[in-house]
Amino acid sequence: MLDSLILWTGAILLGGGVIVTPWRRTRRGGAIAALCGALMMAVALALPAREQHATARTAMLDEWMPVWQFDEHHEIHIDAPPERVYDAIHKVRASEIKLFKTLVDIRRGFRKGPESILNPSNEKPLLDIATSTTFQWLTDVAPREMVVGTCVSPHKGRIDFRHPPPGVALAAMNFVVTPDGNGGSNVSTETRVYANDAKSLRAFKIYWRIIHPGSDIIRRMWLRAVKERAESQVAVRERT
């Protein structure tokens, strides 16, 4: 995330500097801010993307994507048994995830288009929309782990994850549900991206560093939506 923070801080400095530069009293400070911002953005985009490897195969995500250059990981505790949590992950809708619609609207430039995970309806579970369009199921082992995957560049959509063509970036995301021993569950989600040649790596590196903060927010809000749905189901069952 540090690389994205440097990039966005630089963008703010650059934009602010450009705005105030025309005024004489702030011209010098504006020019310095703009220059610093441009340098920060250049540094952020030039930072290398290092390969990471799964040292132990503890999840199915490790089987599908044992090597990757980009990732994010989030966890949450839910006061509901694994079966309820797993069901909630399957059923949560875009409208239940705070800021989801706003952030994906921004990501696609507010353009209209066919239904997809970046343009979801509120009538269907989000994972159903994803896996009926550009994503595909890689693993669905209830109530332990699910993994979905897609090709994110250069052609987006379904692809053979076992034998991908050269020049692509593959993305895989999982949800892992683990019982906490007290009737609740610990839930994690991890997203990994692997670009399999230098050109696709350079292209995705720029894209990732721009969208990573928004992606981070979406994953956190997604887990909170799962928590709210699973715990509300438990509350309803206890009342009845």
pLDDT tens-digit map of 66-117: 999 999 999 999 999 999 999 999 999 999 999 999 999 988 888 888 898 9
Q: How confident is the model at residue 240 (pLDDT cuts 50, 70, 90)?
A: low
pLDDT of residue 236: 56
pLDDT in tens, 207-235: 999 999 999 999 999 999 999 999 987 65
Position 114 scores a pLDDT of 86
> What pLDDT, on a 0 to 100 scale, did the predictor assign at position 192?
96
Closest residue by Cα to residue 93 from 139, 130, 132, 141 = 130
Res 17: pLDDT: 84
What is the reported pLDDT for 214? 92
Give me the chain's average pLDDT, please: 90
Average pLDDT over residues 25-47: 87
Buried residues in 46-84 as b, exposed as e (16+ CB within 10 A): eeebeeeeeeeeebbbbebbeebbbbbebebebbbbbeb
**124 Cα distance to chain centroid:** 20
**Average pLDDT estimate for 176-191:** 96
Give the largest Cα separation in the chain, rounded: 71
CB 229 within 8 Å of CB 88: yes
Helical residues (DSSP H) of the chain, grouped into ranges: 2-20, 27-46, 60-64, 82-91, 100-107, 126-131, 198-239
> What letter would DSSP give residue 118?
T
Cis peptide before 154 (omega within 30 of 0): yes
User: Is 189 strand, coil or helix?
Assistant: strand
pLDDT: which is higher, 238 or 142: 142
Local confidence band at 156 (pLDDT 50, 70, 90 cut-offs): low
CA–CA separation, 173 and 134 (whole Å): 13
Q: Report residue 134's pLDDT band, with 50, 70 and 90 as the boundaries.
A: confident
CA dist 71 → 144, 162, 235 (Å): 21, 20, 34
Within 8 A by CB and 6+ apart from 112, the residues are: 119
